[in-house]
Amino acid sequence: MRKPALLFMLLTLFVAISCQNNKAPQTVNGIVMDASMDHISIVTSTGDTIELSITDTDPARVPGVLLNDSVQVTYTQEKADNGSTVCKPTDLTITAHSPYFYLPGRWVEPIPGMEGLQGVELQSDGTAASINMATLQFSQWMLDISNASTPTLMLSYESIGNGQTISGTDTLSIAKLDADSLILLRKGQPLWRLARQR
């Protein structure tokens, strides 16, 4: 058996055992490392990994999270339909947002050699729109953070000009992202230095 597979099995066993041993509600602080429609994985401040089942949880008490959100979560042990024991969160508070929380919005930069601003609007539903760029029309965006060291923003577009339309997807590395600034690189070179438009 390969070492990564053995390590995963031991980690899963440890998580299951640690959850089974917690009869009373437990409260931990940690960082979201994985999230889907039915589970959240959290690495706690003590280095443990806890798998939480969020099926049938109250969204008002257990809201949606993003990867790298810092959270405080209270969970209990419950029996699943198949007889296994699962950790079920009863309360979850985001104590610090992931940087990716800031992506949706209007991002602009000065138009080179002209007055005015250009850029892109990223909507929370994954749609995108160009700002003052008639020949480059964005339609959708997606964030890829499978490589944590180089998160990428993928923008679907149509380039319109010279009587033809070309569709494609631009894959840009995120060099900086906070509440006010977004710097995007193409092949390691700065392409856009954008500021959030209020």
CATH topology of domain 100-196: Lipocalin (2.40.128)
pLDDT tens digit sequence for 135-185: 999 999 998 887 767 889 999 999 998 778 999 999 999 999 988 999 999
What is the pLDDT of the chain when averaged over all its residues? 86
Q: Which helix (H) or strand (E) holds 11?
A: helix 3-20
Average pLDDT value for residue range 119-125? 93
CATH class of domain segment(s) 3-97: mainly beta
**pLDDT confidence of residue 24:** 87
Ranges of each domain in the chain:
3-97, 100-196
The backbone torsions φ and ψ at residue 9, rounded to the nearest 5 degrees and listed phi first, read -65, -40
Burial class (CB in 10 A: 0-12, 13-18, 19+), 40: buried
92: nearest Cα among 67, 75, 68, 77: 75
